[in-house]
Amino acid sequence: MQKTWFITGASAGLGRVMTEKLLARGDRVIGTLRRVGALDDLVGRYGNRLQTMTLDVTDTAAVRTAIGDAFKTMGRIDIIVSNAGYGLFGAAEEVSDAQIDRQIATNLTGSIQVIRASLPYLRDQGGGRIMQVSSEGGQIAYPNFSLYHATKWGIEGFVEAVAQEVAPFGIDFILVEPGPTATGFAAAKDDAVPMQVYDDTPAGVVRRGVADGSFAIKGDAAKCADAMIAAADAERPALRLALGSTAYRSITAALADRLEKIEQQREVALSADRS
């Protein structure tokens, strides 16, 4: 059965790979992009099954217009994929105020507004699915990615709450949590101006690891896209979808450690209740 998808950030990375795979299997896609013409090769191959829109998700008014136009054009959209985003690389003290504002506006506020703008249309059509591309970094944290993690932890909390709010309307969510994946993410990241004082700290270790290639990138973009599409096709997918061995191991270890630590605090926690 043919499905219709709306994908932000469709011109590169996981968004581009998903778009290619969905069109190849016969689905319809509306893909948003910031660079005009970035999907012209696919438009030429698939015709009107691919519609493109120029969109910067930091422009809330434009987000609402784009999503309204998409539903008007397609009639029904089965899956919204909120994928647009990038990484800000640098210790918290190194990044500039402008870099912080742009990171939050794109990864967090932009994703929130894509979801908010979609809800009335999904509710009116009797349901649908929203896939939010997060990261293993929505549950764990690396030094030198503090602002990126702030956006991913933030969007995960937002989605977990909204999923409960709209479940009665037949709307559900999938949070995608890839580990380091070969998608061009590193090349597209925004780098802070490094401070020498951080050279011999964990932030410096990660910075050198990314620069010299020793920071392992095990994820395969095509395999991740296949898993995302399969999850979106499933009748009752889990809220969270970890992708890649790095994500699986790092998230599992972080959750086990968190559980162990809170169990050690049980008596203190219970003692804080009113008598």
pLDDT in tens, 63-113: 999 999 999 999 999 999 999 999 999 999 999 999 999 999 999 999 999
Rounded distance, CA 82 to CA 153, Å?
A: 15
∠ CA(224), CA(228), CA(230), 5° rounding?
A: 115
Rounded distance, CA 161 to CA 268, Å?
A: 27
Q: Give the residue numbers spanning the domain of 158.
A: 4-244
**Mean pLDDT within 156-163:** 98
The tokens for 259 are 């559980």
- Banded pLDDT at 128 (limits 50, 70, 90): very high
**268 located within any domain:** no
**257 located within any domain:** no
**Mean pLDDT within 224-251:** 96
Q: Rg (Cα) of the chain, in Å, rounded?
A: 20
113 vs 218: which has the higher pLDDT:
113
Q: What is the CATH number of the domain that holds 125?
A: 3.40.50.720
pTM attached to this predicted model: 0.94
Q: Give the residue among 142, 136, 137, 135 at the shortest CA–CA distance from 90.
A: 142
**Mean pLDDT within 180-189:** 73
The 3-class SS string of the chain reads: CCCEEEECCCCCHHHHHHHHHHHHCCCEEEEEECCCCCCHHHHHHHHHHEEEEECCCCCHHHHHHHHHHHHHHHCCCCEEEECCCCCEECCCCCCCHHHHHHHHHHHHHHHHHHHHHHHHHHHHCCCEEEEEECCHHHCCCCCCCHHHHHHHHHHHHHHHHHHHHHHHHCEEEEEEEECCECCCHHHHCEECCCCHHHCCCHHHHHHHHHHHCCCCCCECHHHHHHHHHHHHHCCCCCCEEEECHHHHHHHHHHHHHHHHHHHHCHHHHHHCCCC
Active-site residue list: 134, 148, 152
Q: Is residue 190 over pLDDT 80?
A: yes
**Mean pLDDT within 251-260:** 97
**66 located within any domain:** yes
Predicted pLDDT at 265: 97
Give residues with Cβ within 8 angstroms of 142, minimum separation 6. 149, 206
Report whether 168 contacts 233 (CB < 8 A): no
**54 located within any domain:** yes
Q: Is residue 217 over pLDDT 80?
A: no
Average pLDDT of the chain, as a whole number: 94
**38 located within any domain:** yes
- As for how many domains the chain has, the answer is 1
Q: What is the dihedral of CA 132, 137, 138, 140, to 10 degrees?
A: 160
Which amino acid makes up residue 255? L
**Mean pLDDT within 243-264:** 96
Q: Is residue 186 over pLDDT 70?
A: no
**266 located within any domain:** no
Q: Is residue 273 over pLDDT 90?
A: yes
**172 located within any domain:** yes
Specify which residues 219 forms β-bridges with: 181
**256 located within any domain:** no
- How confident is the model over 1-55, as pLDDT tens digits? 899 999 999 998 999 999 999 999 999 999 999 888 889 999 999 999 999 999 9
